[in-house]
Structure 1
Amino acid sequence: MNAVTPAIARQHAAGVRIRGLTRRFGGPAVLDRLDLDIRPGEFLALLGRSGSGKTTLLRTLAGLDPVEQGEVAAPARRAVVFQDPRLLPWKRVLRNVTLGLRGADPKGRALAALAEVGLAHRTDAWPLTLSGGEAQRAGLARALVREPELLLLDEPFAALDALTRLRMQAMVADLWQRHRCTVLLVTHDVDEAVLLADRAVVLEAGRIATEVAIPLERPRRHAGAEFAALRARLLNALGVEEDGHALAA
C-alpha cells in the first residue's frame, strides 16, 4: 500500500504526480492503474461520464479517500470547493471562512478573501440568506484564504443558473490568473472546460481516454472556430454529437 508521502510531495511542491492509482469499491476498478501529471500552476479540467472515476480522483487528491494502490504526490496545501458550498448555517459568512484557519490575522485574511470574490458587503450575513452564487463565492473564499498550492473544484457551478454560472466562471478565471495555483476542475460541461482550462482530460472506466491541450488566448469567449473545434473534439471523446445525441457504439 502506498500513500501521499511528504518526501514525494516535496519533490513536486506545487504540481501533481500520479502513478498506477487503482481504487475499487468491492467491484470493478473505479480508477484503473491511472497515471497523470498536473504541472505546477496548470488549470486542468477533468471530464467523463458518470462513474468514470472523476470524483474519486478528486477525493483522493483532497486526502478524503485513501491511496490503496499506486503513488500520489500532491502539495500539502490543498483546498476543495464542492458543488454544495457546505457552509455551516449557524455561523455567519466571515466565521465560515475563518473556520479552522491558522496563522496570523485570520480575520484580516478572511476579509481580504471575501473582498476578492465580491462578498465584502456580506461578511455578517447568515448562509441561508445568500443566493446560490453568493454561497458558492463564500465557499471559494474559504478555499482561497488558505493559499492552496492545489485547488480542487468539484462541479462548483453545476447547480447555478446559466447567467450566474457564466459570472462565476469568469471570476474563477480571473482569480486563477492572479493566484496561479494548480487547479483540477471536475466538470460535465465541455464549454466550461474549454473556457477555463489549459488542458482537458477525459476519463473512461478509470483510465485516461483522451487528453486535449487548450492553447486559446485569455480572456476567452464562447465563440470562434478554435473554440468550436476544441468543443467538438471533447464532445466526440465523450461520445456525444454536437446536437447532444449520443454517438453509436
Structure 2
Amino acid sequence: MAPRTGPGLTRPPVPPVGTPPPDAARLRAVGRSFAGRAVLDAVDLDIGAGEFVALLGRSGSGKSTLLRVLAGLDQDFDGEVTVPGPTMVAFQDPRLLPWKRVWANVALGLGSARPREDALAALAEVRLAERADAWPLTLSGGEAQRVSLARALVREPGLLLLDEPFGALDALTRITMHDLVLRLWRRHRPGVLLVTHDVDEALLLADRVLVLADGRIAHDVAVDLDRPRPREDGRLAALRSRLLTELGATRTGQP
C-alpha cells in the first residue's frame, strides 16, 4: 500500500539525509463513532520504525477499528493519521483467493517485473517454497497464515498490521507462528501493530503492550526483556498480572 494522503491523512516532509527514519505510524486525536457511539476517542499513538507493539482490549473496545484506520480501510474518522511508508495487513482469515495458486496469491498486485521469483523468495522465507504451486484449499490453517505473511512481507512494508492472525490456530501451531513472526520481523524490521486478545502472546512478542479501553489508550507497558522470553520468567508473570488487572480479568484468566 503506497503512502496515503487525504482527509485526516498526511504525508510527512522528506527528512534530510542522515536523519533517523520516521515513525512507522503517528496518530493524533483520532476519533471514530458508529451510530453516535464513540469507539475511538482522541487516540494518540506513535509506532516507531522497527518497533513491535501489541494492542489488547476487551471485545468491542475498538482494536480492529484502530487497525482499519491505520490500514486506510476506514477513512471516516476525526484527527490526523500519518503513515509514511507502505502498509500491509494480515488478518485472522488469511483471505487467499482459492482460484489462484499459492505463489500467485503472494504476488497478487505486486507490480514486480519478476512476480513469481519474488513470490518464491517470500515463500522460502516462511518455509513454504515447496507449496508454491498448490491450491489454497489444500493448505492447513498454519500454512495459509504463512502464505498471508509472505504476501504481506514481499512488499517490504514500513508498517505491518496483524489482526489476531493466530486466533484460529491450535496451540502448537501458534507457538511455531510466534517464532516465525519474530524471525521475519528481525529480518525485515517493519513497525508492527499486533491486535490480540491473548496477554501471553502480547508479552512474548512485543516491545510494548497497549491496553485500549473506553476508546483511548488506557495503559502503555514496556516489555524490556530479551527474546526469547520463557513463560515462567517472574518478570513476565508480574507484567501479565498487571495487564490482566488493567483488563478487568482475574490474575489467572484471560479477557
Q: Same fold (TM over 0.5)?
A: yes
> What does the per-residue CA deviation read over 1:96-155, in whole Å, with 9 as the maximum and x for residues that have no partner?
001100133222111111000010110011111000000000000000001100000000
Out of 218, 234, 242, the position equivalent to 1:225 is: 234
The 2-side partners of 1:208 and 1:3 are apart by: 19
Task: Give yes or no for contact 2:12–2:84 (8 Å, CA) kept in 1.
Answer: no
CA contact under 8 A between 2:29 and 2:42: conserved in structure 1?
A: yes
Q: 2: distance between equivalents of 1:133 and 1:121?
A: 15
Determine the C-alpha separation between the residues in 1 that align with 2:127 and 2:220. 34
* Residue of structure 2 aligned with 1:22, choices 12, 28, 31: 31
Contact 1:60 1:66 in 2 (8 A): yes
Match of 1:7 among 9, 12, 31: 12
1:73, distance to aligned residue in structure 2 (A): 0.6
Tell me if the contact between 1:155 and 1:187 (Cα under 8 Å) persists in the aligned partners.
Answer: yes
TM-score, with structure 2 as normaliser: 0.92
User: Aligned with 1:118: secondary structure?
Assistant: coil
Equivalent in 101, 113, 124 of residue 92 of structure 1: 101
Q: Which amino acid aligns with 1:140?
A: L
Equivalents in 1 of 2:64, 2:182: separation in Å? 21
SS at 1:96 equivalent: helix
Q: CA deviation at 1:27?
A: 2.1
RMSD: 1.6
Which blocks of at least 5 consecutive residues in structure 1 are unaligned? none
**Paired-residue identity, %:** 63
Runs of 4+ deviating beyond 3 Å: 10-14
- Which runs of no fewer than 5 residues in structure 2 stay unpaired? 1-5, 16-20
Q: How far apart are residue 63 of structure 1 and its match? A: 0.5
Structure 1 residue 108 corresponds to structure 2 residue 112: no
Evaluate the alpha carbon distance shift between residue 52 and residue 151 of structure 1 in structure 2; reply closer, same or farther with a 3 A threshold.
same
For these two proteins, the number of residue pairs brought into alignment is 245
SS at match of 2:166: coil
Aligned mates of 1:38, 1:220 — CA distance in 2: 22
In 2, distance between residues paired with 1:221 and 1:113?
29
Alpha-carbon contact 2:22-2:48 (below 8 Å) kept: no
Partner of 1:118: 127
Question: Alignment partner of 1:56: what SS?
Answer: helix
Structure-to-structure mapping, 1:47-58, within 5 angstroms: 47-58=56-67
Partner of 1:238: 247
Task: Tell me by how many angstroms 1:67 deviates.
Answer: 4.7
Q: Distance in 1 between matches of 2:84 and 2:165?
A: 21
Partner of residue 146, structure 1: 155
Map of 1:45 onto structure 2? 54
Deviation digits for residues 61-87 of structure 1 (CA, Å, limit 9, x no counterpart): 000000531000113301000000000
Q: Distance in 2 between matches of 1:135 and 1:245?
A: 26
Aligned to 2:219, which of 210, 222, 225? Answer: 210
Shifted more, 45-54 versus 12-21: the winner is 12-21
Q: Deviations over 1:27-61 (max 9, x none)?
A: 22100011111111100000000111100000010
Whether contact under 8 Å (2:198, 2:254) holds in the other structure is no
Displacement after TM superposition at 1:172 (Å):
0.3
Separation in 2 of the partners of 1:221 and 1:174?
17
